[in-house]
Amino acid sequence: MHSSAIAFKVRKQLHGFLGIFSPRFSKPEARFIEQMLYGIQAAQDVKLSQIGRELHEQIPLAKVENRLSRNLARKGMDETLHDCLLDYSAAKIRENTLIVIDPSDIQKDYAEKMQYLAKVWDGSQGKVGDKFGYSGCMAVACESGARKMSPLAFRLWSSEAPDFKSENNEVEAVIDAISAKTKKRGIYVYDRGGDRTGLFEKFMDKNLRFIVRLVGHRNLVWRKKERLAEKLAEKCRMLHRAAVTFLSHGKEVRVQIEFGVMEVRLPDRPEEPLRLVVVKGFGEKPMLLLTNLKGTSSYKSLWQVAEGYISRWRVEEAIRFIKQSYSLEDMRLLRYTRLKNMAALVVCAAAFASTWIGLGEKLEILRGHVIDLSQRIHKVPEFFYYAIADGIGRLFSRFGDGLGRREKPPDPMEERQMFLSLCFTAQ
């Protein structure tokens, strides 16, 4: 298939994807959203100047940039975009689909005039350090053991903003929005940052199933006595073994793990039974997973918990894809509302690339063409979203013509004749 024809078909699919959002926005707003989704993917960038160039409008770039900036200033756009995306994604979330909640941040080390800059988490120090930027929470859905993912939300906030209450409040807002749309289906998976009393209470109060990795210093009730979780792990019998393969710093690592379970409770919620799944083999200290998933001590029951959390590591690559493929940390918008709206638009663009392209047999063929156009030197890996994003960017940037409407796909022979006539004219 000719590249221009592929570009036309992908643009048509993007216009169809807009149907998720258009009922909640006016026609001018829907047009703006389509332009942003197109421009973000064509430029693989979030700078308005780059997005504006890819629209190929017959007016000065400064005017295009000003219009995009003005439309980005609409308050509440990010919440409506997330709401629409969740309406679309919720139907694909089944009873045991994993909903990975991942705290993130956008670091802006050299920014000075961006509104409400605040100190953000420094992973190397394990605390809030001297780096400035914006905090965020990304939510992604996937099936256990799989690497295919469905972006759900990316909520951005600043601890310096007037409406900021707490990080728990921001994360809980994401969980509330997802649980309302999915009717409490799915299993919420959270890293050690989820080891907070407030979040455990949120999960339990709303009857949501969860798998949370503990930091080890939490007190748990075992046999009617409070003990440190890391001390309890020493008493846990390792009932089962398994071989696990995962990526570490770009290399495939295979390790042998063993795991067991203990029936525990939280001191503040002694009436609710929980399970502490202890996994050894990933490091010097055992991995402690607290869950309210009901089950037994059988291999199948415990592996559901262990694999559920391990799948979260695979999803981290999906989260990196969203941040890197669209240069998310290169946002240069000065106003807080525009930053939040841009974060929501980026996750919508990622959803188009990862979940919309490839739906159905005919679109699966189209996705194959898009991946081919990404011009990968090596074989496309199982996690092919980078290739899809690169292919869409190449199509829109080199073979697209902005969002100009055509009644039919371009004819390759007509384009070739036009090209030859231009060559002869130049001679």
Local confidence band at 250 (pLDDT 50, 70, 90 cut-offs): low
Per-residue model confidence as pLDDT tens digits over 47-98:
999 999 999 899 999 999 999 999 999 999 999 999 999 999 999 999 999 9
In the beta sheet, which residues pair with residue 263?
275
In the beta sheet, which residues pair with residue 244?
255
- Which region among 97-101, 105-109, 178-182 has the lowest average model confidence (pLDDT)? 105-109
| pLDDT confidence of residue 123 | 58
| pLDDT confidence of residue 139 | 94
The segment with the largest mean pLDDT, out of 228-242, 323-337, 375-389, is 228-242
Better-predicted residue by pLDDT, 7 or 10: 10
The average pLDDT across 180-199 equals 94
Better-predicted residue by pLDDT, 371 or 411: 411
Map out the domains of the chain as residue ranges: 3-73+357-426, 78-325
The average pLDDT across 99-122 equals 89
* CB contact set of 1 (below 8 Å; sequence gap of 6+): 369
Cα distance between residue 387 and residue 354, in whole Å: 10
Let me know: does 43 contact 308? Beta carbons within 8 Å: no
Cα distance between residue 50 and residue 424, in whole Å: 33
- Which region among 12-16, 110-114, 145-149, 356-360 has the lowest average model confidence (pLDDT)? 356-360
Cα distance between residue 325 and residue 322, in whole Å: 6
Q: What is the torsion angle, in degrees rounded to the nearest 10, for the CA atoms of residue 38, residue 42, residue 48 and residue 49?
A: -130
Per-residue model confidence as pLDDT tens digits over 135-158:
999 999 999 877 678 899 999 999
| pLDDT confidence of residue 386 | 54
With 80 as the cut, is the pLDDT of residue 418 above it?
no
With 80 as the cut, is the pLDDT of residue 390 above it?
no
Mean pLDDT of the chain: 84
With 60 as the cut, is the pLDDT of residue 308 above it?
yes
| pLDDT confidence of residue 358 | 52
| pLDDT confidence of residue 391 | 67
Cα distance between residue 421 and residue 274, in whole Å: 75
Let me know: does 118 contact 105? Beta carbons within 8 Å: no
Local confidence band at 7 (pLDDT 50, 70, 90 cut-offs): confident
Local confidence band at 410 (pLDDT 50, 70, 90 cut-offs): very low
| pLDDT confidence of residue 374 | 38
Better-predicted residue by pLDDT, 152 or 366: 152
Q: Can you say how many angstroms the Cα of residue 345 is from the centroid of all Cα atoms in its chain?
A: 12
Local confidence band at 245 (pLDDT 50, 70, 90 cut-offs): confident
- Which region among 113-127, 295-309, 328-342, 401-415 has the lowest average model confidence (pLDDT)? 401-415
Determine how many CB atoms are found less than 10 A away from the CB of residue 122.
14
328 DSSP assignment: G
Per-residue model confidence as pLDDT tens digits over 344-355:
999 999 899 888
Better-predicted residue by pLDDT, 244 or 47: 47
The proportion of the chain whose per-residue pLDDT surpasses 70, expressed as a percent, equals: 79
44 DSSP assignment: T
Nearest Cα to Cα of residue 34 among 411, 387, 400, 410: 400
Region of 133 on the Ramachandran plot (φ > 0 left; ψ -120 to 50 alpha; else beta): left
| pLDDT confidence of residue 322 | 79
Cα distance between residue 17 and residue 40, in whole Å: 15
**Domain 78-325 in CATH: superfamily?**
Transposase Inhibitor Protein From Tn5; Chain A, domain 1 (3.90.350.10)
Local confidence band at 130 (pLDDT 50, 70, 90 cut-offs): confident
Better-predicted residue by pLDDT, 366 or 307: 307
Per-residue model confidence as pLDDT tens digits over 28-43:
999 999 999 999 988 9
The proportion of the chain whose per-residue pLDDT surpasses 90, expressed as a percent, equals: 59
Helices within 326-411 (DSSP H only): 336-351, 360-372, 385-394
| pLDDT confidence of residue 337 | 97
